[in-house]
């Protein structure tokens, strides 16, 4: 089976940097995804990691360590619009496509 | 279409009634997924299709739930004899295919069973 853990809530200040951690346990591993979900809206795709290391995409970066079952999402130069839930999701090696999502981390950005 | 379209946007039904939820994926997207999301939780996998073939239905809670995608495009999720515990946001997503493509989610159908 799979188990994905991430903090329930985080608070950060506008302009700052925040790191949202995700740990996972799966019987296999075939990729890790991060999604952003604003309240009342659909999740939107942010990043995908399948190899170890850091993937940078503008203000957002995602890191993966497969040996540690660990990922983080790094958000730089926080803006008020970054207030949202951030969902970590893992694709099991045995799965051809479906993702298993964590419960999400609700990030509140304060002025 | 430009995005994943789901209908209806909201559905209120009486306990015991059957409901059908529709998903129209992005044109050309091979894979289609159904998820259920409770408030404050991440999406929970229900089932998925590649073209018209249902690849995995292990997430369907029980045999009251079924899904089809007969022509490899539009999909319908049907819940028979609805119960109050079925109340949730039902989300459809589509993708070009495996392995690396992120999903595009639809706006969802908010189902309330009274």
**Residue A44 contacts B, CB cutoff 8 Å:** yes
Q: How many Cα atoms sit within 13 Å of A82 on the Cβ side?
A: 25
Nearest to A43 among B40, B43, B44 (CB): B43
Nearest to B48 among A30, A89, A98 (CB): A98
Indicate whether A92 pLDDT > 80.
no
Cβ-based interface (< 8 Å): residues of B facing A: 31, 33, 35, 40-45, 48, 50, 55-56, 59, 91, 95, 97-100, 102-108
Mind listing the pLDDT tens digit for each residue in A4-33?
Answer: 999 999 999 999 999 999 999 988 888 999
Going by their DSSP bridges, the two strands B88-95 and B31-37 should be labelled as antiparallel
**Residue A64 contacts B, CB cutoff 8 Å:** no
Q: Do A41 and B45 touch (CB under 8 A)?
A: no
Size (chain A), residues: 111
Q: A87-101, B5-19, B26-40 — which is least confidently predicted?
A: A87-101
Mind listing the pLDDT tens digit for each residue in A49-86?
Answer: 999 999 999 999 999 999 999 999 999 999 999 999 99
Mind listing the pLDDT tens digit for each residue in B38-87?
Answer: 988 999 999 999 999 999 999 999 999 999 999 999 999 999 999 999 99
Residue among A4, A76, A67 nearest A34 (CA): A4
Q: With contacts defined as CB-CB under 8 Å, which chain B residues touch A96? A: 50, 55-56, 98
Query: Hey, what are A90's tokens?
Result: 């893992």
Using pLDDT thresholds of 50, 70 and 90, give the confidence band for residue A97.
confident
**Residue A51 contacts B, CB cutoff 8 Å:** no
Which residues does A40 contact at the CB level (< 8 Å), separation at least 6?
A: none
Query: CA of B18: how far to CAs of B12, B45, B70, B80, B87, in Å?
Result: 11, 21, 20, 4, 13
Residue among A69, A75, A64 nearest A20 (CA): A75
**Chain B interface mutation, best of A99, A102, A103, highest count of B Cβ atoms under 10 Å:** A99
Q: Do A98 and B33 touch (CB under 8 A)?
A: yes
Bridge partners of B88, per DSSP, are B111
Query: Hey, what are B43's tokens?
Result: 């999406």
Closest residue on chain B to A4 (Cα): B42
Q: With contacts defined as CB-CB under 8 Å, which chain A residues touch B40? A: 103-104, 106
Q: In what order do the strands lie in the sheet with A60-65?
A: A3-5, A18-25, A70-75, A60-65, A53-57
């Amino acid at each position: 089976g799979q188990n994905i853990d991430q903090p329930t809530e985080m608070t950060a200040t506008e302009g700052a940097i925040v790191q949202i951690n995700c740990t996972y346990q799966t019987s296999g591993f075939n990729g890790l995804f991060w999604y952003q979900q604003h309240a009342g809206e659909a999740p939107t795709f942010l990043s995908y990691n399948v190899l170890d290391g850091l993937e940078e995409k503008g203000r957002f970066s995602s890191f993966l360590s497969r040996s540690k079952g660990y990922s983080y999402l790094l958000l730089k130069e926080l803006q008020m619009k970054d207030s949202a839930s951030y969902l970590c999701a893992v694709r099991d090696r045995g799965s051809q496509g479906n993702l298993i999502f964590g419960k999400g981390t609700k990030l509140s950005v304060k002025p | 279409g430009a995005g994943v379209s789901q209908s209806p946007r909201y559905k209120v039904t009486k306990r015991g009634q059957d409901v059908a939820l529709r998903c129209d994926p992005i044109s050309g997207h091979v894979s289609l997924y159904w998820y259920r999301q409770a408030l404050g939780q991440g999406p929970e996998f229900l089932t998925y299709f590649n073209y018209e073939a249902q690849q995995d239905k292990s997430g369907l809670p029980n045999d009251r739930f079924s899904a089809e995608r007969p022509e490899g495009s539009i999909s319908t999720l049907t819940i028979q004899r609805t119960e109050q515990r079925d109340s949730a946001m039902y989300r459809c997503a589509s993708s070009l295919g495996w392995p690396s493509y992120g999903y595009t989610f639809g706006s969802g159908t908010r189902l309330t069973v009274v």
